[in-house]
Amino acid sequence: MKALVKSNSNSRIESNRIDCTTYRYLCIGGATTATPLQHHCNMPAPTPKMTAVTKLKIFSNLLTQAESLKEKGNKLFSSKDYIASHNNYSHALHITTQLNAHCDNDPLLLSSQRILFVSLIGNNALVLYKLGRYSEMQANCNSILSQASIYDGYDLTKIWYRRALAREALGQNEEAKIDLEHCMRSFGDKDEARLNKGRNDTLLALERVNNRLKRQFEKDNAGTCPSSASQRHIISTLLSQASVPRTGEAFYLLDFDWWRLWCNHVNFHAIDDDMKLKLNIIIPDKKENADTEEDDRSSSEEESDDDSYCDGYGRRPGAINNRRLLISSSNPQASDFFFQEWRPQQSATMLIPQLVRGHHFEILPRDAYAALKSWYGEICANTTICRRAMLMDKHGRPKVFLYPNAQRSIESRNNMGVVYDQSSGRVGLNNLGNTCFMNSALQCLSHATPLTRYFLTSHYKKDINVSNPLGTGGKLAAAYDTMVRSLWMGNSRQYNISPRALKRAIALFAPRFAGTSQHDSQEFLAFLLDGLHEDLNRVRNPPYIEKADVNHEHDLNVAGAEAWDAHCKRNQSIVHDTFYGQFKSTCICPNCKQISVSFDAFNHVSLEIPQLSSFGRIIPIIMFSANSHSVPPTRYGIVVSKNAHLSDVKLQLSRLSGVPIERLSICDIYQSKIYEIISDSKNVSDLNKDDTVMAYEIDPYTPSTMHVVATQFKQGVPDDKSSIGYPLLTSFSIDLSCRQVKEHMMNRLSYLPLSNDSLVKIRIVDNNGAQLEVFENSSSIIPNSDEKLASFLKEDCAESFLFAAIEWSDSSHMLNDNLEFIDHSSLVEAVKKHRAMLNRTLTLDQCLDNFTRPERLDEDNKWYCTKCKYHVRAEKTMKLWRLPNVLVIHFKRFEFRNAMRREKLDSLVEYPLEGLNMNKYCASSSFAGHAENGEVNANQETFVVNDIPATYDLFGCVNHYGRMGFGHYNAYARRWNEYHMEDDWRLFDDSSVRDGITETDVVSNSGYLLFYRRRVFA
Ligand SMILES: [Zn+2]
């Protein structure tokens, strides 16, 4: 057996051989026998194995025969006897095909058969090339390339290259190009002499094919294209005829870069504005330089020396090329082997998920597309992407669904795929001293199927990035690999393993995890995901990309897609594909009202558990209106967030009462006096819960107004301590006479059930309540004089406050608590809300609602306003913009009180095990578009639906018990794949694994980290 392997060890393929053991476990499923390697090494086996040994002998003989035929063929090839060489190869191939029957499904034998087969096909292709039998040559290569999944892990670069040569010779330049591009990618950036030779050959071939394609294209299009002006006219006419989509009408997707190029080329911006409004079309910005973008595209048809095509405007676009929008072998962005299995199946035209109109594509009605196609051609017939308008809208308007199958698969969730070995994953992790925080996170992460499958199939080896200074040189990935293998493919008698190597590796990346102290499970997970991502980052030389400044004038869908593209230029890994999503945060400057939007990637969502206080504060306010003279004061219930300012309170009160914000004065009332006129910048949290807050409608402060603070007293000599009831704040013109001032004050109190002599007198006092003897006869009482009040007062009274004392003979009717206030509906609402807060059950939905609610940043967290040039307490709104395939949700149970103290919130938050609908929290989704008016481009909202449903199921949950820093972590997890979620929840508690967990166990007030998987991968 060893000899068999050795005979091929000179082949490069050997080193890339797939891990056969893995292969068996993943493909056959349920196989419980130990790895077969030992059996063959320890021959001779006992009698029952005799047949196997016999088979092995036959296999060995046939293999030797085929090998020697191959050698013969090689020699004949060298001596240029191609026909004889071909005969030998054919014979060898025939024998090799027979070998299959003798492999007995043994992975090692299968592997040696395949290695030989691949090398024979390669050699035979070359000899067929020499013989000029190109069709045969292509078919020959197809026998391997059409079964790519079987040969996954083998180096097929030569086969791809030779098929390209065959196709080129057959005039299939387009197909040849795809093969050559495939070769280029498989070279990667390894620097080896032998590889460089192959790379050079491939590059030369690519250039040949490209030139030929270009010439062909020029020939095909010579003289067929109308002038720019008539193209403009024809297309705009065709678009206007179909600007209101009809049900059943066909629409065609068009690569947006191509569309931009065309718009520049024919100067489509020149069509008149009336026409533009009529068309349901996105016309790209004129300024943008399409040439630089085009250069990045591997499939670009143009060369920079294409000046001859210029028509006075931009460069002439080549053939329509939609390949970038499709999932195919030539599109590395989406060729991940298993992701496709989760994705909606759409046969030939399978679109890349989450395409954005105006960034990736534009959509045209049939006739307009047909016109463009007839003028420019199409790069490849199977890149035509057609979608029909369907009557799906609730308003009866037709819509075009980009992913029609995805919409349906909410119900079916039926996709192809492999099944895990049923007995695996049931292995505990030893506690290495306070490492339950790590073990619980690892157990959940190990149930994230895409990641685990990626390691178990050894795919990680080809991505491992040892040169990334942000990673651990692959050590973390290797340690994680070892652990995942032990968990899923280890000896079935092993009940627990030690994650020591992984712990050491993570400490390389994040030294804080080196010791034996307790850590936060969430922090650990975030570091682990980050570290794995860096170790597996497929981007070798990340470009520097400046973060774009986005404001409300941008199309947010496009801005979001651009930000994601920019992020992906630096970050591409399995971790990224699986766990990363995108936030949109909007900041509004309180001073200049500038709105700034930014997009950031995330690998988990941290949610606050809403507490009574964080739901906001309810402030009852008694409001004295200036106009409604006979109407009693009104009580309002103002609800603001806990860190709101008084200006926020004013804003709400203004909205509720209709009184302009600048006419509102809000006062803190203490012992029947105005204790303070509260400044706008005061924080609501500084208000005492028992304070009485009153609002007065007054004139804004100007030199020609006078403001009076009036306190009430029982008849007698007023002093500072004997005030009763509620004080009054009012304003009037400085020109009023003493009599008019008295009338004004009486008017303010006219809703009181007064008898004529209830009110005794109104005195002028100082701010301590002492009488000011400013009138005739040293009186402090305002006389019934027609002289201006101001004329009695010293000048300094004019611009500041005047203090007055109102004396009552009958205090039972004065302005106090006994008064019948009017209760505004907001007060009733607020009381209801308060009651609901006290006895509610929290749900995950409420936490998510709370997360996406606008919030004013606190002092420690200010935002820099680029317009005001300083840090401000902006109003910030977070939204989920792009959702990951595995969503990690973290509850902030450890509330940070101060540097010394963190408190744990034990509230129960109910979370769904199945069917968490995230669409409504995703701001970019068309479903959410209704909630966020104006955020989504109107055309897109009503016309193209590009959503993939965001329904999630829970597969893991890390629990925390006890106090912060001293508590204990464990985890619930269940297995899943493309078909379904298993129902057998298990409890992973360090080294112990327990079955028999019910669904009700999984949802508890210990839930700390939640792991959700998306039903249809995006
Ligand atoms: Zn500002």
Lowest mean pLDDT among 142-151, 297-306, 490-499, 906-915: 297-306
- Report pLDDT for 341: 60
Other beta carbons within 10 angstroms of residue 529's beta carbon come to 24
Q: How far apart are CA 160 and CA 166, in angstroms?
A: 10
12 compared with 787, residue with greater pLDDT: 787
Tell whether the torsion through CA atoms of 919, 922, 924 and 927 is positive or negative: positive
Q: Is the peptide bond before 44 cis (omega within 30 degrees of 0)?
A: yes
Pinpoint the alpha helices (H) of 716-768. Answer: 738-748
279 compared with 220, residue with greater pLDDT: 279
Lowest mean pLDDT among 219-233, 304-318, 988-1002: 304-318
Q: Contact 251/389 with Cβ under 8 angstroms?
A: yes
**pLDDT for 810 beyond 70:** no
Can you tell me the mean pLDDT for 13-37?
A: 34
User: Tens digit of pLDDT for each residue in 944-961?
Assistant: 777 788 889 999 999 999
Other beta carbons within 10 angstroms of residue 335's beta carbon come to 14
883 compared with 425, residue with greater pLDDT: 883
In percent, the amount of the chain with pLDDT more than 70 equals 77
What spacing in Å lies between the alpha carbon of 169 and ligand 1's midpoint? 65
What spacing in Å lies between the alpha carbon of 102 and ligand 1's midpoint? 77
What spacing in Å lies between the alpha carbon of 922 and ligand 1's midpoint? 27
What spacing in Å lies between the alpha carbon of 591 and ligand 1's midpoint? 5
Can you tell me the mean pLDDT for 735-740?
A: 87
- Report pLDDT for 11: 40
- Report pLDDT for 291: 44
What spacing in Å lies between the alpha carbon of 381 and ligand 1's midpoint? 53
**pLDDT for 631 beyond 90:** no
> 423-442 burial by CB neighbour count: b if 16+ within 10 A, else e?
ebbbbbbebeebbbbbbbbb
User: Tens digit of pLDDT for each residue in 710-729?
Assistant: 888 877 665 656 777 788 88
Cβ within 8 Å of residue 120, ≥6 positions away = 66, 70, 89, 92, 93, 96
Angle at 618 between CA 614 and CA 623, to 5 degrees: 150
- Report pLDDT for 952: 93
What spacing in Å lies between the alpha carbon of 869 and ligand 1's midpoint? 7
946 compared with 529, residue with greater pLDDT: 529
- Report pLDDT for 420: 45
- Report pLDDT for 413: 36
Pinpoint the alpha helices (H) of 316-473. Answer: 339-342, 366-376, 404-412, 436-446, 449-456, 460-463
> 903-932 burial by CB neighbour count: b if 16+ within 10 A, else e?
ebbeeebebbbeebebbbbbbbbbebbeeb
What is the β-pairing status of strands 617-624 and 909-910? unpaired
**pLDDT for 767 beyond 80:** no
**pLDDT for 367 beyond 70:** yes
- Report pLDDT for 770: 77
- Residue 997's region, left for phi above 0, alpha for psi from -120 to 50, else beta, is beta
Lowest mean pLDDT among 195-204, 435-444, 460-469: 195-204
- Report pLDDT for 190: 64
User: Tens digit of pLDDT for each residue in 193-245?
Assistant: 667 778 888 888 888 888 888 777 766 665 577 888 889 999 998 888 877 77
User: Tens digit of pLDDT for each residue in 132-191?
Assistant: 888 889 888 888 888 777 787 788 888 889 999 898 888 888 888 888 888 887 776 666
Give the chain's radius of gyration (CA, Å). 38
Helix (H, G, I), strand (E, B) or coil at 153: coil
What spacing in Å lies between the alpha carbon of 345 and ligand 1's midpoint? 48
Instruction: Please report, for residues 17, 114, 153, 452, 482, the alpha-carbon distance to residue 22 in angstroms, rounded to integers and kept in the order given.
Output: 12, 17, 12, 12, 13
Work out the pLDDT band at 254, boundaries 50, 70, 90: very high
Work out the pLDDT band at 508, boundaries 50, 70, 90: confident
Can you tell me the mean pLDDT for 758-767?
A: 78
In percent, the amount of the chain with pLDDT more than 90 equals 16
- Report pLDDT for 417: 31
What spacing in Å lies between the alpha carbon of 658 and ligand 1's midpoint? 27
List the beta strands (DSSP E) in 30-99: none
Work out the pLDDT band at 334, boundaries 50, 70, 90: very low
Work out the pLDDT band at 33, boundaries 50, 70, 90: very low
Helix (H, G, I), strand (E, B) or coil at 383: helix
State the catalytic residues.
Answer: 436, 968
What spacing in Å lies between the alpha carbon of 592 and ligand 1's midpoint? 4
Q: Contact 418/977 with Cβ under 8 angstroms?
A: yes
Please choose, from the candidates 252, 249, 254, the residue with its C-alpha nearest in 3D space to the C-alpha of residue 268: 254
What is the β-pairing status of strands 428-429 and 496-497? parallel
- Report pLDDT for 521: 92
- Is 537 buried (19+), middle (13-18) or exposed (0-12) by CB count in 10 A? buried
- Report pLDDT for 479: 94
> 245-265 burial by CB neighbour count: b if 16+ within 10 A, else e?
beeebebbbbbbbbbbbbbbb
Other beta carbons within 10 angstroms of residue 981's beta carbon come to 18
User: Tens digit of pLDDT for each residue in 58-88?
Assistant: 888 888 888 999 999 999 988 888 889 999 9
583 compared with 423, residue with greater pLDDT: 583
SS (H, E, C) 221-248: HCCCCCCHHHHHHHHHHHHHHCCCCCCC
- Is 875 buried (19+), middle (13-18) or exposed (0-12) by CB count in 10 A? buried
DSSP assigned state of 320? B
Phi, psi at 789, each rounded to 5°? -60, -40
List the beta strands (DSSP E) in 291-450: 361-365, 386-391, 398-401, 428-429
What spacing in Å lies between the alpha carbon of 879 and ligand 1's midpoint? 22
What token pair was written down for 100?
Answer: 């299959």
- Is 230 buried (19+), middle (13-18) or exposed (0-12) by CB count in 10 A? exposed
Q: In the predicted model, what is the mean pLDDT of the chain?
A: 78
- Report pLDDT for 814: 60
What spacing in Å lies between the alpha carbon of 588 and ligand 1's midpoint? 8
- Report pLDDT for 348: 43
Work out the pLDDT band at 988, boundaries 50, 70, 90: very high
What spacing in Å lies between the alpha carbon of 870 and ligand 1's midpoint? 8
What spacing in Å lies between the alpha carbon of 550 and ligand 1's midpoint? 15
- Report pLDDT for 1008: 94
192 compared with 909, residue with greater pLDDT: 909
Amino acid letter, residue 76: L
What spacing in Å lies between the alpha carbon of 866 and ligand 1's midpoint? 7
What spacing in Å lies between the alpha carbon of 864 and ligand 1's midpoint? 8
- List for the chain the helix, strand, coil content (%; round to 5): 40, 20, 40
Q: How far apart are CA 644 and CA 227, in angstroms?
A: 61
